[in-house]
Amino acid sequence: MTASDALPHLIDSGCLTPFGDDIATHRALIEGRLAIAPHPVLGAEGGDSVPLALLPGRCLDETANPAWLGPLRTLAGRFKDGGWGQPRRPVIVTSSNFGVGSLYAFRRADHDPGHLDHGTPCSSTNLLRRHFGWGPDVTIYSHACVSAHLGLLQATRRVASNTADEVLVFSYDFLSPFVTGGFHALKILNEGFPAPYQRRETGSIALGDGAAYAIVGRRKGDFRLTAQRVYNEHHHFTANRPDGTGFRRVFDELGAAAKGRRVWLKGHGTGTLEAGRLEAEAFAAVFPEAPLVGWKGSLGHTLGSCGLVELAIAVQCMRTRQAPGTVGTQSPCFTPNVATSPLNLNAMDSVICASNAFGGAHAAFILSDA
Amino acid sequence: MLELYIQTLHTDEAGLETPAATRERLKSSFPAGAARRMTQLGMLVGTCLRPLSPETQDTIVYLSQFGESRSLEAYLDSFPCASPTLFQTSIHPGGLQQMLIGRQIAIGTVFPLSGDAQLVSEGLVTAMTAESPRVIICGGEERGTWLTEHNAAAEQSFAFALAATQERGDTCIGTLRINEGDVNAPGLTLLDWFRLLNTRTPYLGPAGAGWNLDLEWH
C-alpha cells in the first residue's frame, strides 16, 4: 500500500454527456440507447460520415464564443461554492484537446481572432477560471486519454501529502474537426459504429463530447478511490506492446489490491480490435470471474475526459446497484466475461475503472463503497 | 516544506535556431534515421533526458506550455487531408515520448503539465509529492511560426532535464524547496525557470500563486 492509498475519499462527482448529467446518462445506457450518430468528419467542410456523440444543439465546427462553455457552466454550478483554486483547495484541470478546435477554426475556417482567446491548454483553462470564479491555484495535466486518471492520482497525493484539504478535478474534451480529422486519418474513426470487445472483422471507434468533475478529500464520502496505478510502456505512439504486458502490469497490481473484494470491471473499450482484445484478455486473466463492460459504444470516446466521465457513471451504478452492459456489442466477444446486458451489482462492492492512451499509457483504479 | 535534491542537470538553449539546424546539431545523439522523424522539441528534450538514463521506477514530470507547436501548425495546414503522423506528434506529451519510444523505455508514472504562471510551481509540487525515490523534471518549448505571432507558441526553443531525489546523497548539486506562499504573487514562467537552471542561478521567491521556491546550488 502506498501513502496515497490510505486517505482520500471521493466526496462528489458528476458528468455531462449528450444524454445529460450522470443520472440521465446512466439511465440511457441502461436502456441501451446510443448517443452517437453519423456526422461529416470535417463538419462544414464535409468528408466521410463517422459516428460522433455531440452535445444537443452543438455542431462540430467551433464558434468564437465556444458552444461548450454554457454546458460546462451548468456542470460547474454543481460545485460552485467551493472556493476552488485557492490554497488548500486547488483545481486540477485535465483534457487532451482543451480548446484546440478553436485553432482549427481560426486557421481553416473564419480566421476570427476571437478563437485565439482559448486555443491553447492554458488559455482554454484561463477561460474556465474567469467564468467559474476559480482562484489561481490550478494545475493542468494533459496525457491524452489517461489525463483524467492523472488528475485523480495527483488529487489523492495532494490530500495525502497535506498540501491540500480538498481537490477539484475537472475534465473536458469537446470534438472538433481537428480531432475527428486526426482519428479519421489514423483510419480507426470510420463509417462503422463501435462494438467494444466484439470479435469482428473491422475495428471502429466513435468519438464523443464529455466533461466531468470529481472532488477528492478527507471528508467522508460514499466512495473511496484506491490502488491508483499508471504505467507507460512507450512501445509505439499508437499501439500497445503486442504481448499485452502494459495492461497486465497495471491489472496485476490491481488484482493484488482487490483481493477479497467482489469486483466488476469498467474497461477502456473504444472499439479497436487489437487494444480491445489485449485489454479483455488481460482482464480475464487477472479477474476471471468479474464481468467486463465498456460504454464507448454509446457515448463515443470522450478522450482526455473519459476516465472522469466514466467514473461519474460508475458512481451512479454503485448507487443504483445496476451497471449498463457493453452497449453496441454483440456476441461473439474476445472473452466470455464481456457483459452485453446490464449487470445487477447487489453482490458487488467495487469496480475497477481502466483507461489507456497513445504512447501505451495505462491507468486504472478501484472505486469502492466507503 | 517539500524538498528534493538535484543530482544531475542538462540544458539546451536553442533560442532562435531552426529545426533543421537543431537536427543537424543533435542527430548524433539518436539512432540513425530517428532524428529525421523527430520534432525540434523532441530532439531537445531527448538530448537533455538521455544522460539521465530514465528507468521504469522513475517518475517523470514534463513541463511545456505550448508543446509541439511546429507539429500543430503543420497538422492544421495538412487539412483537408489530415496527416496521421502530424496528428500523433502534435499531442501532448509527444516531445517527451519521442525519445522514450525510440529507446523503448517504459516509465511508471508520467505527469505531463501545461500552463503559464502556475506551470513551474505546480510541476514542482507534482514532483515533490511523487512516491518514487527519483523524479525527473524535464521540459521545454519549440519556437513556433504563425502560432507565435498569436501568442499561442513560444518565441524561443529550449529544453532541460534534471534528476532529483528525496535523499541528499554524495553527488547532490542543488536543492529545491517549496513552501506555501502568497497566493497573489506572480509565477515563474517556464523560460524563467529554464534560465535559472541554465545559469545555475540561486533563487528565493515566488514560484507561482501560493508557492515560494528556494533553489540552492552546491
Predicted ipTM? 0.97
Q: Given this model, what pLDDT does residue A3 score?
A: 46
- 128-167 of A, contacting B, C-beta below 8 A: 135-144, 150, 153-154, 157-158, 160-161, 163
Residue to mutate among A5, A96, A142, with most B CBs inside 10 A, is: A142
Q: Where are the beta strands (DSSP E) in chain A?
A: 9-16, 37-40, 49-53, 91-94, 138-141, 166-173, 207-208, 210-217, 223-232, 263-266, 292-293, 322-323, 343-344, 350-357, 361-369
**Contact by Cβ (8 Å): A197, A292:** yes
**DSSP code of residue A143:** B
The answer to whether the CB atoms of B106 and A233 lie below 8 A apart is: yes
**Tens of pLDDT along B169-211?**
999 999 999 999 988 888 999 999 999 999 999 999 999 989 9
Q: Which residues of chain A from 281 to 340 reach within 8 Å of chain B, CB to CB?
A: none
Domain span at residue B90? 2-217
Tally of structural domains, chain B: 1
Question: What values do phi and psi take at A351, rounded to 5?
Answer: -130, 140
Same fold across A9-217 and A223-369: yes
| Confidence band, pLDDT 50/70/90 cuts, at residue A6 | low
Q: Which residues are CB-neighbours of A334 under 8 A, at least 6 positions away?
A: A197, A198, A199, A276, A277, A280, A281
For residue A186, the SS3 value is coil
Segments making up each domain of chain A, as ranges: 9-217, 223-369
Reading the block at residue A100, the C-alpha cell is 484546440
What is the pLDDT tens value at each position of chain B, 218 positions in all? 799 999 999 999 999 999 999 999 999 999 878 888 899 999 999 999 999 999 999 999 999 999 999 999 999 999 999 999 999 989 999 999 999 999 999 999 999 999 999 999 999 999 999 999 999 999 999 999 999 999 999 999 999 999 999 999 999 999 999 999 988 888 999 999 999 999 999 999 999 989 999 999 99
CATH of the domain at B38: 3.40.47
Range A223-369: architecture per CATH: 3-Layer(aba) Sandwich (3.40)
CA of A28 to nearest chain B CA: how many angstroms apart?
Answer: 32
B74 touches chain A (CB under 8 A): no
Residues of B in contact with A108 (CB under 8 A): 76, 79
User: Domain A9-217 in CATH: superfamily?
Assistant: Thiolase/Chalcone synthase (3.40.47.10)
d(CA B67, CA A67): 25
Q: What is the pLDDT of residue A134?
A: 96
Q: What are residue B46's phi and psi, to 5 degrees? A: -60, -40
Cut 0.80: pTM above it: yes
| Chain B nearest C-alpha distance from A17 (Å) | 23
Query: Using the beta-carbon criterion (under 8 Å), do A103 and B76 form an inter-chain contact?
Result: yes
Q: Which of B81, B113, B150 sits opposite A139 (nearest CB)?
A: B113
Nearest of B127, B120, B45, B150 to residue B89 by alpha carbon: B45
Tens of pLDDT, residue by residue over A259-309, are 999 999 999 999 999 999 999 999 999 999 999 999 999 999 999 999 999
* B117 contacts A104? CB cut-off 8 A: no
